[in-house]
Structure 1
Amino acid sequence: MNKFLFAFASSALLFSGVCAKSLAEIKSSGTIIIAVHDDEAPFGKLNGDKYEGFEITLAEAVAAKIFGDSEGKVEFVASANDETSYRLLQDGAVDMAVSTLVPTAETEKLADFSSPYFSVNVGILTRKADAITSIKDLKDKTILAMPGSIGEKYFQKQGYTIKECDSAGGCARALLENQGDAYADENIIVMAFPVINREVEVPQKNLGASEFNSIGVQKGNADLLKAIDAALVELSKTGFFETEFNNHISPYYKGTAEKKYFLLDDIYNLL
């Protein structure tokens, strides 16, 4: 399915007003619908007509655990940002969202969340020519951030001026086009851009307290959430996260992202 058709499917489902399927209904239907990013490498990106990335592989692996020995199919729906993912979940357009969502007091009103699978902090992407060294250098300047992202929330609390952008790629492009003075997001996301463009850098990559990416489901979908948690434990114990970090994330960052700061296998080993 091409990008246009994915977008069309998202829009049609968005206004359907149906509830997300229960675990039993998902197994019975043989299909699970998952919101993922289409412009946020190395987590999720639509490459031609195929989704690729760390979270794509994770979504497929969790789905395989849910279906078990039964035959099942995964359908992806593109989500540009957190706001879209929550809307898709609330409208029953998708069964779950594997799209760098972070549980907070605010977002837990919008969705229920699985156990975490990735640790993140806030980082900022800036133009090298601006020689930004700290967030103090950004006082009275404009911060680019996606709606509902941890970057937006962090800088809103600090009293900075926020300009919204619709995706990680879109935010980075807006920065290069001088539409803002910094792009704030999860550190692992902004760290990707200096690898492919030497005009930008990440002068700060560990702002705020650590937060955690989790899989989101529609509120009240307890059986599905329990199945997802069980799948995450199983995957961790088989070395899935380290393997996929090495397959997708480490090569993308040319070895500059150390897995000890992002993976949570030590926590799962206690379960």
Structure 2
Amino acid sequence: MKNTLIKRCVAAVCALACVASLAACGAESEAGKIRIGIKFDQPGLGFKKSGTYVGFDVDVATYIARYLGYSEDQIIWKESPSKQREAMLQNGDVDMIVASYSITDERKKTVSFAGPYFVAGQDLLVRKDDDSIKGPEDLNGKRLCTATGSTSAATVKERFASEVQLMEQPGFAECATALFSGIVDAVTTDDIILAGLASASRGKLKVVGVPFTQEYYGVGIQKGNTEFAKQINDAIEQMIEDGSWQRAIEENTSGTGYAPNSEYNPPEPTEGEE
């Protein structure tokens, strides 16, 4: 009985040691690295492709990381779904989030932002050969798709086209498929997201190019970290000045004819420093 008890105690100690060892290994694997939250499912912005990550947000995040002294192999990419972004920052799961993350007063109650690094505008995606929709005011009687929970369709309905027929899909990729198939006449969300979908369609879809809102994309960071915000803002400013920002836009929206709204872009990154 005594030997059995000793064996059980030894086994328990070994198990705890193994758990501690694994935890230590996990901590060591992230030591000296930067953890960045991005989207994995937004073509043109943040997209996981064959084990690699591509898109404008990815390019911005990579540039910032390099400016801060991290090489590409020191970046740990973490998927950051929209509903989880604040919690990921508050819990310390990531160091920053670059994921079409609009700066709002409501969000600033729990997290801080650096940037903005881009100003998007709500726009419309239509089929390449459709010239009947030149703006949101042409949507009366048309079938419009947006992602479930998005406020984009409500904006169109309230401000421009009260008789629009709305269809909701789990994501904008599904909306693009419905558009290509002829199930809907247009898709609405931020213009750069639509440009990414248009690029992925290989010329079958196009962005109308008449943005009617402004969405200021920021880099999400933990609440109150003003010094980190300043470093990120300096990186964004350098990215704009040396031409890398413009190249990243062009490379991630090639073939779509998309150009950011020049009235607001490139923006002045001053958020979060005060």
Say whether the fold is shared (TM-score over 0.5): yes
Quick one: structure 1 residues 56 and 122, their matched pair in 2 at CA, closer, same or farther if it must change by over 3 Å?
same
The alpha-carbon deviation at position 132 of structure 1 amounts to: 3.6
TM-superposed CA distance for 1:71, in Å, is 10
Cα distance between partner residues in 1 of 2:142 and 2:183: 11
CA change 1:149–1:106 in 2 (3 A) is farther
Alpha-carbon separation, structure 2, partners of 1:165 and 1:218: 32
Q: Deviations over 1:173-212 (max 9, x none)?
A: 2444566553211112213444425554434x33323332
1:237 aligns with 2:241: yes
CA-atom RMSD, angstroms?
A: 3.6
- 1:130–1:240: structure 2 CA closer, same or farther, 3 Å change rule? closer
* Shift of residue 59, structure 1, vs aligned partner: 0.8
Which of the two has greater strand per residue?
1
Distance 1:38 1:49, change over 3 A: same
In the alignment, structure 1 residue 33 sits paired with structure 2 residue 42: no
Larger radius of gyration: 2
Preserved contact between residue 39 and residue 168 of structure 1 (Cα < 8 Å): no
Structure 1 residues 206 and 216: CA distance shift in structure 2, 3 A: farther
SS at 1:125 equivalent: strand
Match of 2:189 among 185, 194, 209: 185
Q: Distance in 2 between matches of 1:228 and 1:149?
A: 29
SS at match of 1:220: coil
Q: CA deviation at 1:103?
A: 1.2
Contact kept, 8 Å, 1:119 with 1:264, in 2: the verdict is: yes
Measured against aligned partners, the alpha-carbon deviations of 1:214-255 in whole angstroms (never above 9, x if no partner) come to: 211233333332322222223333332133334x23xx4326
Runs of 4 or more consecutive aligned structure 1 residues displaced over 6 Å after TM superposition: none
CA distance in 2 between counterparts of 1:215 and 1:53 reads 15
1:73-222 correspondence to structure 2 within 5 Å: 73-80=74-81, 82-127=82-127, 131-139=132-140, 143-146=144-147, 151=152, 154-155=155-156, 157-158=158-159, 164-176=168-180, 181-195=185-199, 196=201, 200-203=205-208, 205-222=209-226
Q: State the Cα distance separating 1:76 from its structure 2 match.
A: 0.7
Provide the C-alpha distance between the structure 2 equivalents of 1:242 and 1:212, rounded to a whole number of angstroms.
17
Q: Is there any run of 5+ residues in structure 1 with no aligned partner, and where?
A: 1-27
Inter-partner Cα distance in structure 2 for 1:124 and 1:71: 34
- 2:126–2:206 CA contact under 8 A, matched in 1: yes
The change in CA–CA distance for 1:245 and 1:201 in structure 2 (over 3 A counts) is closer
| Distance of aligned partners of 1:32 and 1:171 in 2 relative to their CA distance in 1, 3 Å threshold | farther
Q: Aligned residue pairs: how many?
A: 235
Instruction: Name structure 2 gaps, 5 residues minimum.
Output: 1-29, 270-274
> Which residue identity does 2:97 align to in structure 1?
A
Please state whether the residue corresponding to 1:170 is helix, strand or coil: helix
Worse-superposed segment, 256-265 or 181-190: 256-265
> Pairwise mapping of residues 39-78 of structure 1 onto structure 2 (< 5 A)?
39-67=41-69, 73-78=74-79
Q: Secondary structure at the match of 1:264?
A: coil
The two structures have a TM-score, normalised by structure 2, of 0.68
Q: Which amino acid aligns with 2:139?
A: L
What is the alpha-carbon distance in structure 2 between the residues aligned to residue 133 and residue 211 of structure 1? 21
Q: How big is the shift at 1:120?
A: 1.6
* Structure 1 residue 144, shift from structure 2 partner: 3.0
Quote the Cα distance in structure 1 between the aligned partners of 2:158 and 2:92: 31
1:150, 1:186 within 8 Å by CA — same for their partners in 2?
A: no
Give the percent of matched residue pairs that are identical in Structure 1 and Structure 2: 24
Shift of 1:122: 0.8
Structure 1 counterpart of 2:20: none
CA distance in 2, matches of 1:175, 1:213: 26
Counterparts of 1:221 and 1:72, CA distance in 2: 25
One-letter identity of the residue aligned with 2:77: F
Q: How has the CA–CA distance of structure 1 residues 32 and 264 changed in structure 2, closer, same or farther, with 3 Å as cutoff? A: same
